[in-house]
Structure 1
Amino acid sequence: MRSSSAAGELADLLGYPVGEGDRTFEWPAVEASLGGVALPSDYKTLVETFPRGRFQGAIRLIRPGDHGYPRTEYLGYFRSLLDHLSEMKLADQTACPYPIFPQPGGIIPWGERQQGDLVFWLPNGPDSDAWPTLVHDSERRIWQEVPLGVADLLLQAVKGKQPFYELDEEIPVKEAPLREKFWDELGVPNGVPSQSFDLLVNLLGARRAERSFDWADISEKTDVKFPADYINFMDQYGPGVFCDVRLCDPSSAGEHGFTDLVSRVRRAAQDGRGDRWSPPIYPDAGGLIPWGETEDGWICGWAPASSRPDEWGVVVSRGNMDSYSYRPDDSFSSFLVKHANPARIASVFTGRDPWSKPVVFSSFSDDA
């Protein structure tokens, strides 16, 4: 058994005594959900010892029952991500040079990195305690086998060592960011996101919203100065549904309104929270500012990492903020253009099928 000492050392180092956490997982049932695959013992120890959270703010353990699935289900939500990766591989074999579960010897995810990329086991033998880790870069061009199990890899990360030698990436070794500086302390490069409002007009055609917005009054009431492309969109089209994304009404406190969306996002985040690396939510200092949602529970918002709204990138989350994807290179408009692009292989919503229907916009007033 390779990593039992590493799991204990990691627990001691971070102040979580082994055996005093959640020991209610039904591992035989969990493993049965994987077709009888025996999970590594160090992984089970870590899941039973540590609460939900991110090690070094960079890697989160996948836990049975994640994202509202039964606690006897290991993959749950992540099964759709594996299905999506399999589809990508069918289109392009270089998307993943390894078999994918449930294929024999197929890779199985055990962790999720800061930007939503998965960390896998490579089941290359019958002894799961000897399985190495498999990681890839953000574009899936480089795949690297790391000869470490879960506990050994996390222990190296916590000690400030770099286990991902070939990816030109670093795991941050630092305290959790200050809440008001959350986004710019994540270690994600912040550039100026691309602006694509003209492309949106090309997609939807020119029109004028049925009512005007008093942006000075809205900013005074919300204490938010909104990005120019969002203002332009609302002035030209108004709030409504773009493809399958409901774009909130910035001036309304009722249904479809900004205030209502903020309230629901905050409630959902509180239900799934407990992780000091989970993002703050508006009106908390530096909090994510939501602007849209999908019917199946995805939240879209801005990361106010700058005092200039036109430099805000987009954040998408499954709803409870346990995991999220920060896209600093995308503005409100460029995100919507990418979402509507039928040529995209991967969705802007990680693990979700790309939008493949015609590009449509329906204002809320049209539905009234």
Structure 2
Amino acid sequence: MSLDDLTGMMPPHEGAGAAIDWEAAERAYGVAFPSDYRAFMARFGAGTIENYLTVLAPEMSEDGLAEGPMVFITDDARGTWEDEPGPLDVPAERLLAWGCDDTGDLLCWLTQGDVPEAWPVVIYNRGDDAWRVVDCGLVEFLRRILRAEFDELPLSGTTLWGENAARFLTQAEEARIKAAGQDPWAD
């Protein structure tokens, strides 16, 4: 799966994309990030798809410590894993969140092994109160959601399911549109 396929279904707006210091992110989060995620961040940046699913970016303090939504959602996912263990016998510390959605689902990587590209996506489906493991990376996961290519919908909500033409807005673009007095998600 290429990022170009996803881009064809969800073109980034002008000014999208984020320059992230990946070496600093590695130090702060203690892991190297998957190459498809780094490419996604370069092309799209952190933001929201169809006012439903938010893709998070690693943030670091001036002291080089991990901070921001990725940390908070990761903490939530790990706590949930401890309360409602997933289908794999792995410690909660192996989860690293990359997203969440408006139905309260948590989207993570299972950071097992030294090859980030081999990390599966792990979803906590809050509607079913169950964890699901999907053997693909972030970009492939998003593409398959937009094309409805999973045997069953792994998310609680249907907003993106089969949405072959989705809209993505960075946090900055969404804020800019709101500041202009408009609804960024109006059709």
Task: Please say whether Structure 1 and Structure 2 have the same fold, judged by a TM-score greater than 0.5.
Answer: yes
**Residue of structure 2 equivalent to 1:292:** 99
Q: Does structure 1 residue 249 correspond to structure 2 residue 57?
A: yes
Runs of 5+ in structure 1 lacking a partner? 1-194
Distance 1:320 1:352, change over 3 A: closer
Given the two structures, how large is their TM-score scaled by the length of structure 2? 0.73
Report the RMSD for the aligned CA atoms in angstroms.
3.0
Asked which structure has the greater CA Rg, the reply is 1
Count residues in correspondence: 165
The amino acid that maps onto 2:10 is L
Q: Which residue type is aligned with residue 301 of structure 1?
A: C
Map of 1:13-28 to 2, 5 A cutoff?
A: none
The answer on 1:228 being equivalent to 2:40 is no
Counterpart for residue 280 of structure 1: 91
Between the aligned residues of both structures, percent identity stands at 21
Partner in structure 2 of residue 199 of structure 1: 5
| Matched residue, 2:75 | 263
Question: After TM superposition, where is structure 1 displaced by more than 3 Å over at least 4 residues in a row?
Answer: 206-211, 267-270, 273-279, 319-322, 342-346, 351-354
Q: Secondary structure at the match of 1:337?
A: helix
**Higher strand proportion, which one?**
2
Aligned counterparts of 1:321 and 1:225: Cα–Cα separation in 2: 31
Q: Could you say which residue in structure 2 is the equivalent of 1:213?
A: 20
Are 1:308 and 2:115 matched, yes or no?
yes
Mapped partners of 2:23, 2:84: distance in 1? 34
| 8 A contact 2:125–2:154 mirrored in 1 | no
Compute the TM-score of the two structures, normalised by the length of structure 1: 0.40
Task: Pick one of 124, 136, 142 that aligns with 1:317.
Answer: 124
Residues 279 and 246 from structure 1, CA distance in 2 versus in 1: closer, same or farther, beyond 3 angstroms?
Answer: farther
Q: CA deviation at 1:268?
A: 3.3
* Cα pair distance change 1:266/1:342, threshold 3 Å: closer
Q: Which residue of 2 aligns with 1:108?
A: none
Alignment gaps of 5+ in structure 2: 61-66, 176-187
Aligned to 2:46: 239
Give the whole-Å Cα distance in 2 for the aligned partners of 1:352 and 1:296: 6
CA contact (8 A) 2:56 2:70 kept: yes
Check the 8 A contact 1:265/1:320 in 2, yes or no.
Answer: no
- CA separation of 1:308 and 1:314: change in aligned 2, threshold 3 A: same
CA distance in structure 2 between the aligned counterparts of 1:225 and 1:320, rounded to whole angstroms: 31
Where 1:224 maps in the other structure, the secondary structure is coil
Cα distance in structure 2, aligned partners of 1:320 and 1:343? 20
Distance change in 2, residues 1:211/1:304 (3 Å):
closer
